[in-house]
Amino acid sequence: MRDMPKQITLEEWDLRYEQLKKAGKYQPAYGGPLGRHVEDGDQRLLRLRYDNSAAALRLWNFLLTEEDRLHESRMAGRKIVGTMKDLGTVPVMAYCFENIVAFYPDGAWWIPCVMELGAGLLQIADSLGIDESFCPVRAMLGAFVTGAHFPIPDLLICSVGATCDDFSAIAQRLNGLGHPILWWEIPHRRNPESNETGVNLPGGYSAPKCQVKFVKSQLHGIKTALEDLAGEKLDEQKLFTGIQKANQVRRLLAELRQLAFTAERCPIPALEMLIAEMLAIHFCSNRQETINVLKELLDEVKSRVRDCKGILNVDAARIFWINPVADLQVMNLLEDCGGRICGTEYLFTHALDEIPEDLPPLEALARMALADPMVGSSIDRAQRICHDIRLFGAEAVLISRIPGASHCALEGRVISEIVRDKFDIPVLEIEVPPVTDSMRPTVRTRLEALVETVRASRNKKRI
Amino acid sequence: MKTVIYTCPYVPAEWIVAHGLRASRLLLDRVDSASMFIRSEGVCPFVRSFISEVMNNKEAEGVIVTTVCDQMRRAFDIIVRKCELPVFLMNVPNTWQSLASQKLYIDELKRLGRFLKGLGGKPPSNDALANIMLEYDASRATVLASIEYSSARQYAEAITAFGRDGPNRSVNRVTGIVPLTDGIPLAIVGGPLMSQDFALFDTIEQTGGRIVLDATETGERGICARFDRRRTHEDSFMELANAYFGGIQDACRRPNSELYKWLQQELTTRGVQGIIFHRYVCCDIWHAELKRLMDWTDLPVLDIDTAGDNETDRYRAENRIRAFLEMLQ
């Protein structure tokens, strides 16, 4: 049952859900009307607009039932691993074990948005001395204290070193509250020096061989910890199979991104694309279902592109978006202002690039971990962004600052300078807190200005 | 002699000096945010001052930046793009319990050696490094012993002079001063101080306090462990690495439990009755420790947060210190 693509409200979705159900549309076990999630306190859902496809419904339901899935896993006797900060590396390993489920407690940073601050997580973080001067990921502390969101993991693993100070400090605070953490070191990625052997990394980066060897040793320590937790060995074949599965997800996303960002008419909204991309980092606690969800979404997008259907006007300004937003509604807002997403860098490109399959698996994972955009310099990150701007034909760049985040204070200038040096396109920074309601007019005005600048530039080129 | 500048305590001055270069650990001055060439929103005042100092320093022929804090790591990106000076980014691991982390630090020191060679330095022999280390060690011990008869400001200045100038010029500055015995014994805990922050020491002493433990990064806490003479002669490089990487306890360590062990010992030994916690706004690493420290210790803790760039800030800090000491008396 395919209708004209459009964005609809939650109320409209619930009506549409009934239609889909009557039409016999397949619903997975976690399926159901989206409106039911509001009863859990997810008030922000009432203010978002959604893609009207069945594929999007499945995507949203999959996302919004993750906590249930984690609790079910615990009930079923599976071990829960909380993997923190590395955004994509450790879960590839963890999902090689049948009896381990891994997730990012970092994801709690969206709870204040989704629950419109109703969960009180930020207040708990405040009470622990982690106030609003920190990144919204501080909500994670509150989630650990209340235990009301995700189950407290059996094992916590956190990368430190070349990471943001906010997260490192918050994780240490968590550790100080009595949660044991297995820390692993990710060194700042650098280019090989003249006397060093260089190694190519995913994403076009490079690093000296000694850094890859070091990270491999760190990952080996994590592998041992996971083996101890699972009570089974992780051999090379199993890890290789896990990498292949992760690559399956990444290939689906690569195709999805290519179509979504380059089709003449935008086939899928920015918000659904953000969520789809997020699935790559820990498979939303079910790797196989992630593949199924993405396949359905990709089929929908392919069909729309084939039929030249989409959700926005063809003249929407093509925006490259940097950093994830703490308030999901801002992705809707960009489209309201006449923009569309044509390229993203949400801080986890290393979870989107394919992991090399022609290398020993642990070495391949080490190379992937080192390709994390946060691990290297802002200059490297900017160059990757420039590459993708060209690839997707973006006409402007929007840098979305994360309030309080240590990296945002200095990297924006470096990135914008490098982008401006290479392309004659506008770059704009905005700051997006978990709930933007009070500053919505300001954000809107800035987004409109960006879109207008793009359009003016097009007109100049025509003349 | 070519000068290499840095601020991080994990950079061993002895290693630079042994290469035939001058090591100068900077004591930074404040920079008004309005006068900065970079946007200052969200930038730690210390990092802001560091960038400004590097850009304007006329003496330096090389700069060392480390990865102990994220903003400093990113300051490297700014400096390397805007500054003509050769800059070296040294990876200082946050983890410390594994041999791999220790080896990473050692490898980074070796890489630093190659950078120093590129500046015209000469790799030292074991004996040459050992001799410099022992000279530094003796001088450092003298500086540390001066706490008995120095005011807190004099003591802090002696430590920073030692960092800036090395053993030769710093030792004499702290002799011949009358020992201090009165005042409520206090500790100051936190990241690095800047020169204007030393005024806090005067305020503390004028209002009846006495700093008996300077646990800031620019104070005693940022000083490496003493070298073992025998091991220094046997393998000076390894002893240097161990004394710095293993001997300096910082909030950035993961886990940072050793910092608390060190504090426990020093606070007890020195009979501390109150803690002044100094931090810069936008320094997440130290900010996150404040509440934990308060929960951990029975001692009263005063939080002094500063944006580092205006007089109001200073008056506010002074008032808070006065009130704190009034309550302790």
CA dist B14 and B61 (Å) reads: 17
Is the CB of A218 less than 8 angstroms away from the CB of B76?
no
Tell me, what's the pLDDT at B33? 57
Which structural domain, as residue segments, surrounds residue B161? 126-328
| Cβ neighbours of B69 in A, within 8 Å | 165, 406
The β-bridge partners of A399 are A322, A429
Cβ distance B93 to A130 less than 8 Å, yes or no, reads: no
**DSSP string of B198-240?**
GHHHHHHHHTTEEEEEEESTTTGGGSPPPPPHHHHHH-HHHHH
Instruction: Say which CATH number the domain at B284 has.
Output: 3.40.50.11900
Q: In terms of domains, do B254 and B139 share one?
A: yes
Residue ending a domain, choose from B91, B118, B145:
B118
Last residue of one domain, picked from the residues B118, B139, B168: B118
- Residue A145 with chain B: CB contacts under 8 Å: none
Taking alpha carbons only, the member of A335, A279, A323, A328 closest to residue A434 is A328
Residue from the list A134, A176, A217 with its beta carbon closest to the beta carbon of B100? A217
- B263 with B184, same domain: the answer is yes
B49 and B177, same domain (yes or no): no
Picking from A158, A187, A407, the nearest residue to B91 by CB comes out as A187
CA distance A51 to chain B (A): 36
* Rounded (10°) CA dihedral B10, B11, B15, B20: -160
pTM here? Answer: 0.96
Per residue of chain A (463 residues), give pLDDT as tens: 568 999 999 999 999 999 999 999 888 999 999 999 999 899 999 999 999 999 999 999 999 999 999 999 999 999 999 999 999 999 999 999 999 999 999 999 999 999 999 889 999 999 999 999 999 999 999 999 999 999 999 999 999 999 999 999 999 999 999 999 999 999 999 999 999 999 999 999 999 999 999 999 999 999 999 999 999 999 999 999 999 999 999 999 999 999 999 999 999 999 999 999 999 999 999 999 999 999 999 999 999 999 999 999 999 999 999 999 999 999 999 999 999 999 999 999 999 999 999 999 999 999 999 999 999 999 999 999 999 999 999 999 999 999 988 888 899 999 999 999 999 899 999 999 999 999 999 999 999 999 999 999 998 877 7
Name the domain count of chain B. Answer: 2
Would you tell me how many other CB atoms lie within 10 Å of the CB of residue A332? Answer: 18
Dihedrals φ, ψ of A57, to 5°? -60, -45
**Does B50 lie in the same domain as B26?**
yes
- Residue B109 forms contact with A (CB below 8 Å): no
Q: Residue B66: which CATH number?
A: 3.40.50.11890
A254, A260 Cβ separation under 8 angstroms: no
Same domain for B225 and B91: no
Residues B289 and B242 in one domain: yes
Q: B98 with B170, same domain? A: no
Is residue B215's pLDDT more than 80? yes
Domain end point (choices B54, B85, B118): B118
- Within this chain, do residues B90 and B186 fall inside the same structural domain, yes or no? no
pLDDT value, residue A77: 97
Q: Hey, is the C-beta of A178 within 8 angstroms of any chain B C-beta?
A: no
**CB A232 within 8 Å of CB A223:** no
Spatial distance between the Cα atoms of B34 and B47, rounded to a whole number of angstroms: 15
Are A163 and B77 within 8 A, CB to CB? no
> Which of the residues A141, A167, A172, A432 would you substitute to probe the B interface, choosing the one with the greatest number of B C-beta atoms within 10 Å?
A172
Burial class (CB in 10 A: 0-12, 13-18, 19+), A313: exposed
For residue A221, what is the nearest residue in chain B, using CA coordinates? B98
End-to-end CA distance of chain B: 51
Predicted pLDDT of residue B329? 86
Residue B166, CA distances (Å) to A77, A174, A428, B136, B172 in order: 61, 40, 47, 7, 12
Chain B residues closer than 8 Å to A413 by CB: 38-39, 78
Asked if the model's pLDDT at residue B170 lies above 60, the reply is no
Looking at the structure, tell me whether residues B56 and B146 fall in a common domain: no
Q: Is B131 found in the same domain as B9?
A: no
User: Per-residue confidence at B36, pLDDT binned at 50, 70, 90?
Assistant: low
B102 touches chain A (CB under 8 A): no
Report the chain A residue with the minimal C-alpha distance to residue B103.
Answer: A214
Cβ under 8 Å to A: B residues 111-150: 111, 114
**Facing A188 at nearest CB: one of B89, B287, B290:** B89
Judgement on whether residues B91 and B219 belong to the same structural domain of the protein: no
Q: Which residues of B touch A421 (CB under 8 A)?
A: none
Q: Are residue B172 and residue B103 in the same domain, yes or no?
A: no
Instruction: Judge whether residue B39 has pLDDT over 80.
Output: no
